[in-house]
């Protein structure tokens, strides 16, 4: 079971992210068992775990949470205008507006303490993400200025989130630098030494293994493209050419890789169509 139900020393319900997980755990079953059955199961479980006053507080919170879920679904289903969808600035403005509307909705349905306990971490990260997107879209800042501003934004996150973001940023930097080394012709041993500055030996070997697998896949896809190109001028009908393409995929790739091939082929076809001159 996801989440938890806890009470303080006075027997009052403790508000936490774990409590929200508990609510969502039962409500997620509504699609299969129906909302009434999901709520009945939740109340039966909570009734066996909580005494008053915590049980009454839980029931009141459940009602507020269900009202909020209905209102938030209605809000998120509102369509975007064509202007909001057509430009990056419009899309970002729409995201910011939706974020603020959702935050306001929470404060309408919950007390300040409940809103912070149930949604505070989510809102902190959402605000950080939107501020980061806004920062990246600015054209009046140098890359160095943006990096410094990102550090200031990251410093405002809760400690656990900040540590996670720092690890992700470090991993992204390592990935970029590793890719640069490969592009410049560095040997695997040179890349291993570079990765060892940050990662433990098992992680280093896993990253190198992933690179070898990716390189082998790209080589197979390049060979597939060459054979595919040779089919273009051999007089085959479109149906026969498609059948040959399917046989090529089956011969060169396993079932899992074929999904990726289909995606790559679709992207290539779309790019080719966009580059073709209109008649």
* Angle of CA points 10, 14, 18, to nearest 5°: 155
Q: CA–CA separation, 60 vs 161, rounded Å?
A: 30
Domain assignment present for 171: no
Q: In the listed set 33, 58, 78, which residue is the last one of a domain according to the structure?
A: 78
Helix crossing, 88-109 with 112-137: angle to 10°? 170
Domain assignment present for 121: no
Torsion of CA 254, 260, 262, 266, to 10 degrees: -160
Q: In the listed set 36, 56, 78, which residue is the last one of a domain according to the structure?
A: 78
Instruction: For the chain, 279 residues long, give each residue's pLDDT as a single digit of tens.
Output: 788 899 999 899 999 989 999 999 999 988 888 889 999 999 999 999 999 999 999 999 999 999 999 998 888 777 765 555 567 777 888 888 888 898 999 999 998 889 988 998 888 888 888 888 888 888 888 888 888 888 888 777 767 666 656 666 666 677 778 888 888 888 889 888 888 887 788 888 988 898 888 888 888 888 888 888 887 767 777 788 888 888 888 888 887 788 788 877 777 776 666 555 544
Which residue shows structure tokens 């896949």? 217
Domain assignment present for 3: yes
Own/partner contacts of 247-251, CB < 8 Å, gap of 24 or more, are: 248/224, 249/224
> Is the alpha carbon torsion for 247, 250, 252, 253 positive or negative?
positive
Domain assignment present for 83: no
Domain assignment present for 276: yes
Domain assignment present for 23: yes
* pTM for the model: 0.55
Q: CA–CA separation, 102 vs 73, rounded Å?
A: 10
Q: In the listed set 36, 52, 78, which residue is the last one of a domain according to the structure?
A: 78
Segments forming the whole domain that contains residue 25: 1-78
Q: CA–CA separation, 78 vs 76, rounded Å?
A: 6
18 Cβ contact partners less than 8 Å away, ≥ 6 residues apart = 3, 4, 6
Domain assignment present for 236: yes
Domain assignment present for 162: no
Number of domains in the chain: 2
């Amino acid at each position: 079971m996801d989440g938890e139900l806890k009470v303080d020393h006075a027997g009052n319900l403790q508000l936490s992210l774990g409590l929200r997980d508990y609510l969502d755990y039962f409500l997620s079953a509504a699609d299969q068992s129906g909302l009434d059955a999901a709520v009945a199961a939740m109340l039966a479980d909570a009734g066996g775990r909580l005494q008053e006053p915590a049980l009454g507080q839980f029931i009141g919170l459940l009602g507020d949470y269900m009202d909020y879920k209905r209102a938030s679904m209605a809000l998120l289903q509102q369509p975007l205008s064509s202007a909001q969808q057509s430009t990056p600035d419009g899309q970002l403005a729409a995201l910011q507006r939706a974020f603020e509307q959702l935050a306001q909705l929470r404060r309408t349905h919950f007390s300040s303490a409940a809103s912070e306990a149930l949604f505070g971490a989510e809102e902190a990260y959402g605000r950080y993400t939107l501020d980061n997107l806004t920062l990246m879209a600015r054209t009046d800042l140098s890359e160095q200025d943006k990096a410094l501003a990102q550090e200031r934004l990251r410093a405002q996150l809760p400690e656990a989130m900040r540590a996670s973001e720092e690890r992700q940023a470090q991993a992204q930097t390592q990935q970029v630098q590793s890719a640069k080394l490969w592009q410049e012709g560095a040997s695997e041993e040179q890349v291993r030494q570079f990765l060892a500055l940050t990662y433990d030996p098992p992680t280093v070997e896993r990253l190198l293994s992933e690179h070898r697998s990716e390189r082998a896949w790209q080589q197979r896809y390049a060979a597939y493209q060459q054979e595919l190109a040779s089919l273009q001028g051999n007089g085959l009908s479109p149906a026969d050419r498609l059948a040959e393409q399917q046989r090529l995929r089956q011969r060169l790739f396993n079932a899992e890789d074929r999904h990726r091939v289909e995606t790559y082929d679709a992207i290539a076809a779309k790019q080719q169509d966009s580059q073709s001159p209109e008649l």
